[in-house]
């Protein structure tokens, strides 16, 4: 018999959440224009919009908050953070930033010149935006399996060495300031990179004189997948694997709002003293002194403690296990999802879920809206609405049309996952009753945040 595991923590403080009625959700949906971004959090029962900044801190982190040293310069919490980063990530030089994109801004401004190319294992929104703003052009070098929701490849985030070599040969290493290496790959569904791939990529980059800057936002979750899936790694600790992973890189940008279990914060870290020195010059302009970078002392302390907690093997096994627990229930019921289930979210494949809704009727948006109406669960659309329009005004109609169920860390129990699964399965059983949406308000840029919709036929599979 398979023995069941439970959460490796007990609950000391609770935050009540609203158990809403269908009538309440209908009113809230209309007010929000059937866009989950526009719902008020108080109208949401289980909030799976994002795992960013939504973690629950431990008693140890909260205790650290009371030890905030709010000195303008040289706060002791900065030194605690520096030590945690040196211990766990292995980079000697650290600069705190207000969140991940603050670090992306600084590293892009330091390393990228107009006309450069930045290869990466799939783009991320803010990362690419900063690379482009600094004059660079992003080039996708992830393996093709990453773009295929049905591929069961165990390391779908791997770099395609052939694609990388082709780019270096074509434009020259001096036009490539660095390889942007994400672990795990968010936009592929939280898919990991293998140690073997990192070793090969690092050997190639060293030979060609290329730097590797890691987007280490979900690196601890990546380390867990390596422990679980890569031959010969099962007996190592995630902490040890993580250190080896990052030893193949020259520096990282980091969002504390994901793996490090805090609600705000980030940092830039590097092995290169001259990069560090340039970063200290920029951080004072955009974030704050190099010893606080836009964070309060207490926030640095919470992140320092969260960094040590995030590499705990039992925590990671439970964390990844909870995401998989939700995904497994959906798979058993035949609901189409992106496979294998990644580190931080389960992605519903809305095109297969709603084959009768054409993409111009926003199937993923309609499914996210129907899910909220059914059970008060909030998800995020990642499909045609998020992709936006080309400069000529036509829509992109991206290949992946998905609804993301993103699991905050240490916030919900497996019982909450059961409620989510029941709701998704119930919708799947009456999927032909979900019609699409028409967009009735569309802002010119980043439309997914504020666009408004109306259901076709006035109904969205209620009851
Ligand atoms: C969230 C995220 C970022 C940006 O971090 P912020 O803290 O939101 O600025 C960068 N890369 C990845 C992969 C992310 O998920």
Q: What is the pLDDT of residue 4?
A: 85
Residue 183 CA to ligand 1 center (angstroms) comes to 12
Q: How confident is the model at residue 143 (pLDDT cuts 50, 70, 90)?
A: very high
Residue 20 CA to ligand 1 center (angstroms) comes to 31
Instruction: Tell me which residues are annotated as active site.
Output: 72, 124-125, 215, 258, 382, 448
Res 94 pLDDT > 90: yes
Q: What is the pLDDT of residue 389?
A: 86
Q: How confident is the model at residue 396 (pLDDT cuts 50, 70, 90)?
A: confident
By DSSP bridging, strand 377-378 and strand 437-441 are unpaired
Comparison of pLDDT for 270 and 123, the residue scoring more: 270
CATH number of 22-51+313-458: 3.90.1150.10
Domain boundaries defined on the chain: 22-51+313-458, 59-309
Q: With beta carbons less than 8 A apart as the criterion, state whether 185 and 191 touch.
A: yes
- With a Cβ cut-off of 6 Å, ligand 1 is lined by 52, 99-101, 124, 126-127, 182, 186, 215, 217, 255, 257-258, 266
Res 14 pLDDT > 80: yes
- Cα separation, 62 vs 353, in Å, equals 42
Which residues does residue 179 pair with via DSSP β-bridges, in sequence order? 212
Residue 100 CA to ligand 1 center (angstroms) comes to 5
Residue 97 CA to ligand 1 center (angstroms) comes to 12
Query: In residues, how long is the chain?
Result: 463
Backbone angles phi, psi at 295, to 5 degrees: -110, 150
Res 296 pLDDT > 90: yes
Q: What is the pLDDT of residue 65?
A: 98
What would the mean pLDDT of 203-223 be, rounded to a whole number? 98
Q: What is the pLDDT of residue 29?
A: 97
Please state, rounded to an integer, the average pLDDT across all residues of the chain: 96
State which of 255, 404, 409, 449 you would mutate to test the pocket of ligand 1, scoring each by most atoms of that ligand within 8 A of its C-beta: 255
Closest protein CA for atom 5 of ligand 1? 100
Q: With beta carbons less than 8 A apart as the criterion, state whether 68 and 301 touch.
A: yes
pLDDT tens per residue, range 308-349: 999 999 999 999 999 999 999 999 999 999 999 999 999 999
Residue indicated by tokens 């993103």:
406
Q: What is the pLDDT of residue 457?
A: 77
Q: What is the pLDDT of residue 400?
A: 85
- Cα separation, 116 vs 138, in Å, equals 9
Q: What is the pLDDT of residue 458?
A: 67
Res 461 pLDDT > 70: no
Closest protein CA for atom 4 of ligand 1? 100
What would the mean pLDDT of 151-167 be, rounded to a whole number? 97
What would the mean pLDDT of 161-173 be, rounded to a whole number? 98
Residue 22 CA to ligand 1 center (angstroms) comes to 34
Res 207 pLDDT > 80: yes
Which residues does residue 395 pair with via DSSP β-bridges, in sequence order? 389
- Cα separation, 76 vs 197, in Å, equals 38
What would the mean pLDDT of 423-434 be, rounded to a whole number? 96
Q: With beta carbons less than 8 A apart as the criterion, state whether 383 and 401 touch.
A: yes
Closest protein CA for atom 6 of ligand 1? 100
Res 57 pLDDT > 80: yes
Please give the number of the atom of ligand 1 that sits closest to the Cα of 257: 7
Q: With beta carbons less than 8 A apart as the criterion, state whether 159 and 142 touch.
A: yes
Residue 196 CA to ligand 1 center (angstroms) comes to 25
Residue indicated by tokens 């992946």:
400
Q: What is the pLDDT of residue 463?
A: 54
pLDDT tens per residue, range 59-93: 999 999 999 999 999 999 999 999 999 999 999 99
State which of 186, 214, 264, 287 you would mutate to test the pocket of ligand 1, scoring each by most atoms of that ligand within 8 A of its C-beta: 186
Residue 101 CA to ligand 1 center (angstroms) comes to 6
What would the mean pLDDT of 430-438 be, rounded to a whole number? 94
Work out the number of other CB atoms within 10 angstroms of the CB of residue 308.
18
**247: its two tokens:** 């030893």
Closest protein CA for atom 8 of ligand 1? 100
Q: What is the pLDDT of residue 399?
A: 85
Q: How confident is the model at residue 169 (pLDDT cuts 50, 70, 90)?
A: very high
Look at the domain 59-309 and name its fold.
Answer: 3.40.640
Q: What is the pLDDT of residue 388?
A: 86
Closest protein CA for atom 12 of ligand 1? 217
State which of 53, 97, 100, 130 you would mutate to test the pocket of ligand 1, scoring each by most atoms of that ligand within 8 A of its C-beta: 100
Closest protein CA for atom 14 of ligand 1? 217
């Amino acid at each position: 018999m398979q023995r069941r595991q439970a959460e490796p923590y007990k609950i000391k403080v609770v935050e009540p959440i609203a158990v809403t009625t269908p009538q309440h959700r209908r009113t809230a949906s209309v007010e929000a224009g059937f866009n989950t971004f526009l719902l008020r959090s108080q109208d949401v029962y289980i909030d799976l919009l994002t795992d960013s900044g939504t973690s629950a801190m431990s008693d140890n982190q909260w205790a650290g908050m009371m030890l905030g040293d709010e000195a303008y310069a040289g706060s002791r919490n900065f030194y605690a953070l520096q030590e945690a980063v040196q211990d766990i990530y292995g980079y000697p030089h650290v600069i705190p930033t207000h969140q991940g994109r603050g670090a992306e801004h600084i590293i892009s401004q330091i390393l990228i010149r107009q006309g450069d190319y930045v290869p990466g294992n799939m783009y991320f929104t803010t990362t690419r935006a900063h690379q482009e703003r600094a004059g660079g052009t992003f080039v996708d070098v992830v393996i093709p399996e990453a773009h295929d929701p049905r591929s069961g490849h165990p390391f779908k985030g791997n770099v395609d060495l052939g694609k990388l070599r082709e780019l270096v040969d074509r434009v020259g290493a001096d036009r490539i300031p660095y390889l942007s290496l994400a672990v795990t790959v968010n936009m592929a569904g939280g898919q990991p990179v293998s140690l073997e791939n990192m070793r090969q990529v690092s050997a190639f980059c060293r030979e060609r004189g290329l730097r590797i800057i890691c987007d280490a936002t979900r690196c601890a979750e990546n380390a867990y997948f390596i422990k679980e899936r890569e031959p010969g790694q099962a007996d190592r600790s995630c902490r040890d694997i993580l250190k080896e992973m990052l030893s193949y890189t020259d520096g990282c940008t980091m969002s504390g709002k994901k793996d490090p279990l805090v609600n705000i914060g980030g940092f830039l870290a590097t092995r290169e003293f001259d990069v560090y020195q340039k970063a200290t010059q920029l951080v004072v302009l955009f974030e704050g002194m190099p010893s606080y970078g836009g964070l309060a002392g207490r926030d640095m302390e919470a992140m320092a403690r969260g960094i040590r907690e995030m590499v705990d093997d039992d925590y990671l096994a439970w964390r990844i296990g909870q995401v998989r627990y939700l995904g497994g229930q959906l798979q058993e019921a035949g609901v189409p999802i992106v496979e294998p289930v990644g580190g931080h979210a389960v992605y519903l494949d809305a095109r297969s879920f709603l084959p009768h809704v054409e993409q111009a009727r926003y199937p993923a948006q309609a499914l996210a809206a129907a899910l909220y109406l059914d059970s008060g669960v909030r998800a995020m659309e990642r499909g045609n609405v998020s992709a936006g329009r080309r400069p000529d005004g036509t829509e992109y109609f991206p290949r992946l049309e998905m609804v993301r169920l993103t699991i905050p860390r240490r916030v919900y129990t497996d019982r909450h996952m059961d409620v989510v699964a029941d709701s998704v399965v119930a919708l799947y059983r009456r999927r032909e009753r979900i019609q699409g949406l028409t967009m009735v308000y569309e802002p010119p840029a980043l439309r997914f945040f504020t666009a408004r919709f109306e259901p076709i036929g006035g109904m969205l599979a209620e009851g």
